[in-house]
Chains A and B, each alone.
Chain A
Amino acid sequence: MNIGDRNGGDPIERLQAGALAHRRPQKTRGCPDEDRLRLLLPGQVEPEEAEELLAHAAECDWCGTVLREAARDLNDPPTGEEEELAGKARLADPRARRGLVERIVPRQRPDPDPKPWFPILRWWPAAGLAAAALAGVVGYPLWAHSAAHTQRLLAQAYTERRQMEMRLPDAAWGHAQTQLGAETSSFNEPPELLDAKINIKRGIAAHPKDPKWLQLEGRAELLGGKEDAAIAELELAHALRPGDASILLDLGTALFQKSEKTDDAKLRAEAFERLSEGCRLKPGDAELLFNRALAAQRMSNFHEALDDWQAYLQIDSTSGWVPEARKYRDEVKKNLIGSAPTPPPQPQTH
């Protein structure tokens, strides 16, 4: 070592000056997730991972800066001014807080004051005429833009150009057409999907936090081959309405599609978990059983897959999906009796 001779001066001062002059915060491929780095501060990372993160941050100018800035931001308690802002925020109002709590934990209580229905008999002829007129003038556009109609459009788009093995709610069987999960140009999309997207845009603009519209947006993204966007929308819809099995069906399907695209076993297991959660909420649902059976089969959980296919075929013996389900079931059986492993299931084309 002879750097002291070369440069003279205090090595610590030169180290500090050099760090100020030459530190280059640039993210590299090996950098960990910044959210994880920040979790080092309150100790919410397992010790082994924490040690790795800390060792990396000590040497990496990008991660070191992220950690430094996080400590700077979060070390000091809120200032008087920040407390004042908190006191003026929307959620400082008890009514807004109650509203948020009701969205997080929906109340389930009977209507305390149900209205009697019989007075309608006195004025039903006039009401009937008014309703008919209203239906004629306002009803069609309302229907055409409704969430229920949009859901039907998405189901038709799926059947028209089926691009995945898993099922979508209310969709009839369709020919599997193209490669899995590819993003499609909007010019190649079925017109039903384009119509649905217009409705969804309008619905989201009017009701940005409505879980139904968020779910439909997620489903449309899934049909467009954009699994990441679909998962984000569906996670949000699920957070807002955790007891909705159809959202779990879509979320499980989106996770499965992504796992197929990236060959990620962890994602596939997460998809299976979501679909199982949906099955628990809505036992005997044909679409949930079908999709979960496929996920189990792809994970080589053949016993679970067989149970699901058999349960499925007991509740559906007539739809267009039956031949496909039987084919998958037979493949699972072959695997279980020890014959040569069957290649991964492919959608049946007629």
Chain B
Amino acid sequence: MNSGEAGSQDRGELPPERKATGTLTLEAVTEAPWAPPAGEDSPEDLLRRCAHMDDAQAWENFLIRFNPLIEATVARIVRRYGFDGPGLRDDLVQEVYVKLCANRAKVLREFKPRYPGAVFGYIRVIAANVVHDYFKSKGGKYPPDPSPLPANLAAPDETEWRLLVREIEDVLRNASVSARDRQIFWLYYRQGMSAKEIAAISLLKLTHKGVESVIVRLKELIRRAFEDDKRQ
């Protein structure tokens, strides 16, 4: 390994060969029973064949390979809305296929394989979107209620908190922290995403450890800035 690669790993960035499956923690999914059997089309090639809408064999393979993932995703999101039942799940799975085929398979044609295995995350998002759209049309409640404040934590009042947010943003900007790292900071501390969830955003090209190291670095930066300010 050359020094450049070592450097990128120290920073928690994915080396090129691992970026392939590092996002959306899809390793587990691609290693699951839906992984392409040896000698068959890659998932991306299969999607391309299906997009022509005239290849029955490709669609049969698609169903064998992707349907369990679609079913499992639909089941999970349906339950998040507090519903269940095979009838509703079957109907929504059917809607997923209607969405996949609509406009001469526009959804499949638009897919861009930005990294190997991205197709699994894509299909899951399409399935999740169909379920969210269904419940939205029925007035379903989403997103869930925010987590309650733990009893041992005293919160500042709202004005004070908003001022604090602004001052922390000033500290980050004055220290020339990159936009990407500032976004990671706010997703973690304001939106309550975990490092693992943030690492699922493929655009950031960071592992779970990489996200954690950004957070630790910025946390220290802010604490130091506030302490310096106090001393002055």
Contact = CB atoms under 8 A, between A and B. Distances in A.
A113 interface: no
B31 to A, nearest CB: 9
A105 B56 contact: yes
A43 B103 contact: no
Contact of B25 (A3, A73, A76, A88): A76
B173 interface: no
B68 to A, nearest CB: 4
A317 B113 CA distance: 52
Interface size class of A (residues with CB under 8 A): 35 or more
A25 B186 CA distance: 15
Contacts of A259: none
A334 interface: no
A72 B183 CA distance: 18
Interface string A233-271: 001101110100000000000000000000000000000
Interface in A101-144: 101-102, 104-105, 107
A57 interface: yes
B72 A86 contact: yes
Interface string B119-160: 011101100110011000000001110111110011110101
B228 to A, nearest CB: 9
Interface residues of B, number: 98
B2 interface: no
A20 B150 CA distance: 9
A107 B167 contact: no
Nearest to A56: B183
Nearest to B150: A20
B129 A78 contact: no
A11 B118 contact: no
A42 B122 contact: yes
A14 B118 contact: no
B88 to A, nearest CB: 12
Contact of A54 (B101, B125, B146, B203): B203
A61 B191 contact: yes
Contacts of A341: none
B64, B71, B76, B219 — which one has the most chain A CB atoms within 10 A of its CB? B71
A11 B24 contact: no
Contacts of B23: 41-43
B192 interface: yes
A21 B90 contact: no
A171 interface: no
A214 to B, nearest CB: 11
Given A7-B164, A67-B201, A86-B72, 4 more contacts: A15-B161, A21-B155, A40-B201, A41-B201
Interface of B: 23-25, 28-29, 32, 53-56, 59-60, 63-64, 67-69, 71-73, 75-77, 80, 86, 89-90, 93-94, 97-98, 101-104, 110-112, 114-115, 118, 120-122, 124-125, 128-129, 132-133, 142-144, 146-150, 153-156, 158, 160-165, 167-168, 170-171, 179, 182-183, 186-187, 189-193, 196-198, 200-203, 219, 222-223, 225-227, 229-230
Interface of A: 1-7, 10-23, 25, 34-35, 38-45, 47, 50-51, 54-55, 57-59, 61-62, 64-79, 82-83, 85-92, 97-98, 100-102, 104-105, 107, 235-236, 238-240, 242
